[in-house]
Structure 1
């Protein structure tokens, strides 16, 4: 995944060095040259970090479609976002976490829009699975197909996406 930038946000794709630095606030601040608030340490990395750090495959990390979200003007890490299970599914899974002070301000929608606009032509897919907040994907032109326990399956409404986001 490339670096993606919106009006207010930058997503820095995970690299092996970035993932290692996430275990230590000071190392992460030094690597990214931005502030890392205390709340970011509470974002659920207990399961995430060991999985990636124990994975010796550098190519797996370099092919990650996930990254750290930075509020550009505040120069602050505010969360993570990305697509999950990219290599194992024809559909993409979207996941994100934001620190409390940056929730409900449109940041997730803003970056999800950038991710969708980048990834869908790249993947040639029209489905996103496991959307953590369905409302965000609705704003991006996705409509609900089915609901399963713990998962929501959506398909792009291409006409709405084109109209609202100049997609495709």
Structure 2
């Protein structure tokens, strides 16, 4: 993933080296990047995935291009992460996932990031659809997906599936 710039955000590839530093601690991540990490970064759910992602991207480095961090330009702060889970599947679909720390939520950043990622993703070779999913109870994510043009495909086990 190239650096993707929006009005308020920069989206940057989250390298294996950066992931390893994140597991050590926020200060370590700041030492190897030009960015500071928000106090709440990474969220616990994402932190639990990092060891798996490190192993996966070490074994399949080409998949790492689909994983990124969200930088707040004004603060130069890592405020979240996003990515397409493994790149396009055999149908040309990529599944978007993201998280933003609480102190940066409610300001439209997820919407801004989603628009940028969808635009970039749909320009990639062999990609013709972007999908996403969220819990029925995750009202902020539902609003983001609706505002960015996603359509509900189905609901299953309290999870809503979307595509654009």
TM tier relative to shorter chain: 0.7 to 0.9
C-alpha separation in 2, matches of 1:69 and 1:20: 17
- Output the TM-score relative to the length of structure 1: 0.80
Distance in 2 between residues matched to 1:74 and 1:10, nearest whole Å: 11
List aligned pairs for 1:1-168, cutoff 5 A: 1-23=1-23, 24-55=25-56, 56-57=58-59, 59-63=61-65, 65-88=66-89, 90=91, 91-122=93-124, 123-131=126-134, 133-156=141-164
| 2-structure distance, mates of 1:131, 1:121 | 24
Q: Secondary structure at the match of 1:38?
A: coil
Count of aligned positions: 155
Provide the TM-score with structure 2 as the length reference.
Answer: 0.82
CA-based RMSD: 2.1
Q: Aligned residue for 1:161?
A: none
Secondary structure of the residue that 2:36 maps to in structure 1? coil
> Which ranges in structure 1 are unaligned for 5 or more consecutive residues?
157-168
Q: Which runs of 5+ in 2 are unaligned?
A: 136-140
Asked if 2 retains the 8 angstrom alpha-carbon contact of 1:129 and 1:151, the reply is no
Alpha-carbon distance, 1:151 to partner: 3.5
Cα contact 1:29–1:36 (8 A) shared by 2: yes
